[in-house]
Amino acid sequence: MADTIKCKHCGEKRAPLGFAPFPNEIGQRIATEICPPCWASWLQKQTQIINHYGLDLMKPDAQDFLFDNLKGFLFGEVKPEATEATIDTSKEGTVKW
Ligand SMILES: [Zn+2]
């Protein structure tokens, strides 16, 4: 069974997510360094970012953009040339689904 880790995002000692959500290095890191609640909050933010920017995830550019944001959000790693997506939360609740 998985050990307790110190989550890279919230700093709490918890069980790690335990599975890699992506088939790459970042996915492995999330599986072992991020706790399930933090992963869940990223998924919410990811949805906001996709909707906010109208990202087409079939495009490599859009995937890179999302991964940059993911790394910034979960691990606090932001590439110098990457600008973190900022979402205008004051408009929350005005979006019609
Ligand atoms: Zn966490």
What secondary structure letter does DSSP report for 2? Answer: P
pLDDT in tens, 36-67: 999 999 999 999 999 999 999 999 999 999 99
Higher-scoring residue by pLDDT: 96, 57: 57
Q: Could you tell me the distance, in angstroms and rounded to a whole number, from the CA of residue 94 to the centre of ligand 1?
A: 29
Q: Is 14 inside a domain boundary? A: yes
CA distances 13 to 9, 30, 73, 79, 96, Å, are 11, 15, 18, 27, 38
In a domain, 96, yes or no: no
**Residue 61 covered by a domain:** yes
Name the residues around ion ligand 1, CB cutoff 5 A.
Answer: 7, 9-10, 35, 38
Domain presence at residue 97: no
Residue 62 placed within a domain = yes
Domain enclosing residue 56, as ranges: 5-91
Task: Give yes or no for a contact between 65 and 53, defined as CB atoms under 8 angstroms apart.
Answer: yes
Residue 56 lies inside a defined structural domain of this protein: yes
pLDDT of residue 77: 84
CA–CA dist 97, 3 (Å, integer): 40
The CA distance from 5 to 92, in Å, is 33
Alpha carbon of 18 to ligand 1 centroid (Å): 13
Total of domains in the chain: 1
Assigned domain for 76 exists: yes
